[in-house]
Amino acid sequence: MKRGRKVKILATLGPSSSTEEMIGKLYEAGADVFRINMSHASHDLMRDLVKRIRAVEKGVGRPIGILADLQGPKLRVGAFAEDAVTLEPGQTFTLDDRDEPGDASRVHLPHPEILEAVQPGHRLLIDDGRLQLVAEESDGHKIVCKVVSGTKISSRKGVSLPDTTLGVGALTEKDRSDLEAVLKEEIDWVALSFIQRPEDLAEVRKIARGRVGLLSKIEKPQAVERLSEIIELSDAIMVARGDLGVEMPLESVPGIQKQIIRAARKAGKPVVVATQMLESMISAPVPTRAEVSDVATAVFEGADAVMLSAESAAGDYPVEAVETMSRVAEKVERDSLFSGILNAQRPEAEATGSDAISAAARQIAHTLKLSAIVCYTSSGTTGLRASRERPDTPVIALSPVIETARRLALVWGLHCVVTEDAVDLDDMVDRACRIAYREQFAKPGDRIIITAGVPLGTPGATNMLRIAYIGSDGLSGI
């Protein structure tokens, strides 16, 4: 299936979208990659969802990406004797290591890493920021706080720490168990939650050993501060605006979103914009005007993908949500301002032969009005470089490795096709022409440009450009 847009759509699966039939409908509506949220999915459910997605993939004959989203550390206060208490701004409230029911003066905090790390002056945000505390004293066993705003706290509400870097990694025991289970399945991406520093990626890389791409979710101020280092060690990035909007001022999130997208584009790493993109469509068949504008902004900025969460996982209109997002993206990409905005933000090509070839391919395709850029990519590197250029010409990524094609399904502008590797240069050109013709990107008499690495099959060694005509039989005419 040939999409009418270059930005990709990532749809979360859940109670509203867990059957093979519904997954198929979501794909037909425009979903390119499916997200399995390990916060809610058991290992058995995860395996069943993977089987259903792969059955849909086989039916449509197109590579489909799967992302497993690890829960990450869930930091929560303990229980209260009466489930909830009322507080007053200005009063003192303590979080401590006493495993006893809480009251209006204190509550158990079952996280010694927080008790050890919080310093006087640090903020503690409870229940998505509805209650804000500021630490006044901390001795490793208790944190004495002042209530700044909010009047209510109840059992097991979440704790956010915008000013505190915890001494433990982002991978919990549940995450390790989930990761081991995920790595046994045909899953392409793993998303890491609550990353604070580049070191948080090290353990996951050691366990994964390249079997999946690692996507870092940027949702904490500490991650924003070390963004360039995290991007360097990640395979992809997500702007996770939900928790980011809790731990940072809401008005700063749009600017941070732009900062992350541009930094990821410069590094040639896929970037996903997520959270509340079409939130009202959980219960309504149409979105708000503001939500449409939000999706459009992400597309104008050149994000690789936009994501649906509860809209497709638990909403009443999952198919309509995907269709709406797809229509908005198509309309934006046809806008007369779109290419100008992308061009203005295009990063300079890196000083490598491969990047120079990809930049040249984009320019030649634009100047000569070629029908397609066809890139051979075994590891995915050539496809990523082609996408980084954000060409206005369609890009077909040919790979003999189905895992590569599935992973690249997340990447902007790439129409991925699994095909046998070319045996020689003539076969390479004929195969590119034939596939461009078969996939309806070119017709007889059109021209395409081909990029590849010679010797053929050499990972990451893009060093060749070739312009070819499409003959009457779909093969190379000249």
Token duo for residue 457? 């099959």
List the catalytic residue out of 5, 6, 35, 62: 35
Active-site residue flag, 369 = no
Residue 412 and residue 355: Cα distance in Å, rounded? 17
Asked whether the beta carbons of 374 and 396 are under 8 A apart, the reply is yes
Among 212, 3, 40, smallest CA distance to 13 is for 40
Asked whether the beta carbons of 375 and 452 are under 8 A apart, the reply is yes
Active-site residue flag, 404 = no
Residue 431 and residue 427: Cα distance in Å, rounded? 6
Asked whether the beta carbons of 66 and 43 are under 8 A apart, the reply is no
User: Hey, which residues does 372 pair with through a beta bridge?
Assistant: 448
- Between CA 44 and CA 49, with CA 47 as vertex, the angle to 5 degrees is 110
| Buried/exposed code over 233-244 (b: 16+ C-beta within 10 A; e: otherwise) | bbbbbbbbbebb
Residue for token digits 């969460």?
309
Active-site residue flag, 462 = no
List the catalytic residue out of 12, 275, 404, 451: 275
Active-site residue flag, 275 = yes
List the catalytic residue out of 54, 76, 146, 327: 76
Residue 313 and residue 14: Cα distance in Å, rounded? 4
Among 112, 140, 139, 145, smallest CA distance to 126 is for 145
Asked whether the beta carbons of 77 and 154 are under 8 A apart, the reply is no
Distances from the Cα of 470 to the Cα of 170, 213, 223, 428, 441, angstroms: 51, 35, 48, 13, 11
Residue 456 and residue 304: Cα distance in Å, rounded? 28
Token duo for residue 233? 């060690």
Asked whether the beta carbons of 361 and 451 are under 8 A apart, the reply is yes
Among 219, 121, 217, smallest CA distance to 163 is for 121
- Between CA 20 and CA 23, with CA 21 as vertex, the angle to 5 degrees is 65
Residues with active-site annotation = 35, 76, 217, 275
